Amino acid sequence: MNTRHDRDRSDHEDDDDDQDDEYNVPLSQQRVFGAGIRRKPIAFVPASDTNASTLPSTTTATKSTNVGARYLSIVMGKDQSSVNNELENQQNDINPSGSEPSNTCAVCNQPLLTTSSQEKPPLNAHESSIAHQVCLEHSYQPSNIDRDRVGVKYLTAYGWDVDGRKGLGASADGIRFPIKVKEKNDTVGLRESVDPDDDDEQSKRKKKNRHVKNQDKIVRLDAKKIRKMDIEAKKRADKIRQSFYGPDLEEYLGPNS
C-alpha cells in the first residue's frame, strides 16, 4: 500500500527527471524561442509587377499636386492650375536652361563628386576631406582667466566676452591676455642703460660704491622688531583689502560689478 509520503517522493523524482531531461539537452539542439507557432505568411509584391497589390484598391488615384500650390489655393483663393503655372515660371527663372543644379558644397564651394547621375553625392566622404575641414570655423578652448577676479567681473558687466578672443577697448584691438609679471633682480631703473663692454675704472668705482652702500643699509633686527614689523604688515594688508574689496567697491566700479 502506497502512502502519501511515497507518492510525494515519486512525484519529486519525476520532476527531477524532467528537469534533468530539459537541462541535459545541448544548447545547439534546443528549440528556438517561438518554435511551433504558426504565422501567417506575408504576401510580398514582386518588384517587376508594379500593378499588383495585396489589398484591393477602392480609392482612385488622384493627380499629384505641389504642396505650395495647394496651400496658396486654399489661403489666397486662387485656382490651383494658375498657382502651378506661377510656381513653374519661378522655377524656370531660377534655372532657365532646365539643367540640374550643380552639386557644390555651401561651406568650401567644392564640387561634390558623384558616380552616376541618379546617385546622391557622398556627403560623409566630402565632409572628411581636407578642403572641407580647412574651411570650417575653428572651435577654440575657453580662456583660462579666473572668472572670480574683480577686473574680469567689471569688464564682463560692460559687455566684454572672456572667451570671445577679442582685445580690450571699443574697437576690440587692445591686449587680449593679462600682462605677465616678471621678477626684477637688478637695480637698473628707467632711462638708464647697462653697457656690458663698459669696464673702465670709473664704472668699476661706481659699482663698488653702490655695493658698499647696499651693505651699509643692512639692519640687524631682533625678535621683537620682527614681530612688530609682521603686525604692521598685516594691518597694512587688511587696510588695502578693505579699501579695494569692501562695500565702497560699487562706488568705483558701478552696481553691475
223: confidence class by pLDDT, cuts 50, 70, 90: very high
Q: Specify the 3-state DSSP secondary structure of 104.
A: strand
Rounded to the nearest 10°, the torsion over CA 59, 61, 67, 69 is: -110
Instruction: For residue 82, give the nearest of 70, 99, 100 by alpha carbon.
Output: 70
Better pLDDT: 189 or 163: 163
Of 52-66, 78-92, 124-138, 145-159, least confident by mean pLDDT is 52-66
Report the percent of the chain where pLDDT is more than 70.
55
Render 182-239 in DSSP notation, one character per residue: ----S---TT----TT--SHHHHHHHHHHHHHHHHT-----HHHHHHHHHHHHHHHHH
Q: What pLDDT is recorded for position 61?
A: 43
Residue 194 φ/ψ, nearest 5 degrees? -110, 120
Q: pTM of the predicted model, to two decimals?
A: 0.25
Q: Specify the 3-state DSSP secondary structure of 95.
A: coil
Q: What pLDDT is recorded for position 53?
A: 52
Measured between alpha carbons, how far is 206 from 214 in angstroms, rounded to an integer? 12
- Is the CB of residue 122 less than 8 Å from the CB of residue 105? no
Q: Specify the 3-state DSSP secondary structure of 111.
A: strand
Task: For residue 9, give Cα distances in angstroms to 22, 23, 30, 32, 203.
Answer: 20, 21, 29, 33, 118
Which residues fall within 8 angstroms of residue 152, CB to CB, at 6 or more apart? 145, 146, 162
- Is the CB of residue 144 less than 8 Å from the CB of residue 165? no
Better pLDDT: 154 or 219: 154
Of 100-104, 118-122, 160-164, least confident by mean pLDDT is 118-122
- Is the CB of residue 163 less than 8 Å from the CB of residue 142? yes
Better pLDDT: 24 or 136: 136
Q: What is the pLDDT of residues 233-255, one digit of tens each?
A: 999 998 888 777 766 666 666 66
pLDDT at 116 over 60: no
- Is the CB of residue 92 less than 8 Å from the CB of residue 84? no
pLDDT at 108 over 50: yes
Report the percent of the chain where pLDDT is more than 90.
5
For the chain, the average pLDDT equals 72
Residue 83, Cβ neighbours under 10 Å: how many? 19
31-34: long-range contacts, CB 8 A cutoff, minimum separation 24: none
First to last CA, the chain: 100
